[in-house]
Amino acid sequence: MADVLKTVFLTPSEISGRVFEMAGEISRDYTGREILVIGVLKGAFVFMADLIRALSVPCRTDFIRAASYGAGAESSGKIVITKDVELPVEGQDVLIVEDIVDSGLTLRHIMDTLKSRNPRSIKVCAFLDKRKRRKISFEADYVGFSMDDGFIVGYGLDFNEQYRFLPAVYVLDPAPAREKEENG
């Protein structure tokens, strides 16, 4: 394993146990309905694949992608949708599936964009919540795990497009300088 991956944060069995629990909770909440699951690319694709296969309600799936722009180490908060949803959102029970809620700016923008298309309902399911790093108030409806600080990779999460394939989640050590342009 790469020597920047010293610490396992979540093992594959911890992940699958929690994903199964979350899918159970979501299935109960949406009993009798069909969900339009919208994954936020790229980071959420592995989580979403596991989550939807553990649901006991039907769903359709689509994807969205956003980028945040800013000079220097902190994002300016300017979020742009770089790949939009293709299915109609109006009248649908939308569940946005995201990898990590950090500042909250990306999900706020995606939420507002999709809400303006009049879904029947809209909720957010996040694999991981970094609550202490919020720049705006934002609450996900379903949260898998939490952490205070640190940068994680694996299970779909990358650093410079590396490590997404890893089945466990690792803390990247040393942590990267926080300079991000493209999310996910």
Report the catalytic residues: 102
* Residues facing 77 on adjacent strands: none
Among 100, 114, 124, 125, binds ligand 5GP (CB under 6 A): 100
Report the site for ligand 5GP in 36-95 (rule: CB under 6 A). Answer: 43, 68
**DSSP H/E element including 59:** strand 59-69
* CB of residue 157 to ligand 5GP, shortest distance in Å: 4
Written as six digits, the tokens of 84 are 């939009």
Distance in angstroms (rounded) separating the CA atoms of residues 44 and 107: 13
DSSP class per residue in 120-142 = SEEEEEEEEE-GGG-SS----SE
What is the nearest approach in angstroms of ligand 5GP to the Cβ of residue 95?
Answer: 16
For residue 169, the cross-strand partners are: 10
For ligand 5GP, the binding residue among 99, 110, 119, 125 (CB under 6 A) is: 99
Contact pattern for ligand 5GP over residues 133 through 172, marking x by CB under 6 A: ------------------xxx---xxx-------------
Least distance (Å) between residue 111 CB and ligand 5GP: 11
- 97 is a site residue for ligand 5GP (CB under 6 A): no
Contact 30, 93 (CB under 8 A): yes
- Give the containing element (helix H, strand E) for 75: none
Residue 172 CB, nearest approach to ligand 5GP (Å): 7
From candidates 61, 103, 113, 121, binder to ligand 5GP by CB under 6 A = 103
* DSSP bridge pairs for 39: 63, 97
Q: Rounded CA gap, 182 and 103, in Å? A: 14
Total chain residues near ligand 5GP (CB under 6 A): 19
What are the residues binding ligand 5GP (CB under 6 A)? 43, 68, 98-106, 151-153, 157-159, 183-184
